[in-house]
Amino acid sequence: MMTKILIVDDDRQATTLLEKVLSSVGYETAAVNDSTQAIHTALMLSPDLIVLDLMMPDPDGFKVCRMLRELPKFTLTPIIIVTALDDSDSKIVAFGAGADDYLTKPFHIDELTQRVKDLLDREK
């Protein structure tokens, strides 16, 4: 069974790129460009990992992360934040909301795929 990754970002170009990259290394991907659909889609798909942007219309990524963590089904699901916010306050809030990792845009594709692999290996 393929590992499923849910990508949540309001930027369609970003989700298209992330889907291409992650599917090219063997993951099954699904993307949501509307943060209001993130929780519903996550519940339907039961992803093994979630890639989440922070800067989105309400609810923003911080709130989506908190909402996911409040659901028993997602308390242990790895969440990687991928965002243009590179200040320490955003990182502190993101980790406080339950994120497992934090990657600042622009990033190297290999770094993303390695971090995804590391988090998924940790869950096994």
What is the per-residue pLDDT across 26-62, written as a single tens digit (0 to 9) for each? Answer: 999 999 999 999 999 999 999 999 999 999 999 999 9
* Overall average pLDDT of the 57-72 stretch: 97
Task: State yes or no: pLDDT of 118 exceeds 90.
Answer: yes
As a whole number, the mean pLDDT across the chain is 96
pTM of structure = 0.96
Q: Compute the distance between CA of residue 60 and CA of residue 68 in angstroms, rounded to an integer.
A: 12
pLDDT value of position 32? 97
- C-alpha 89/C-alpha 116 separation (Å) is 23
C-beta neighbour count of 51 within 10 angstroms: 27
Residue with tokens 């709130």: 63
Burial degree of 104 (CB within 10 A; 0-12, 13-18, 19+)? middle
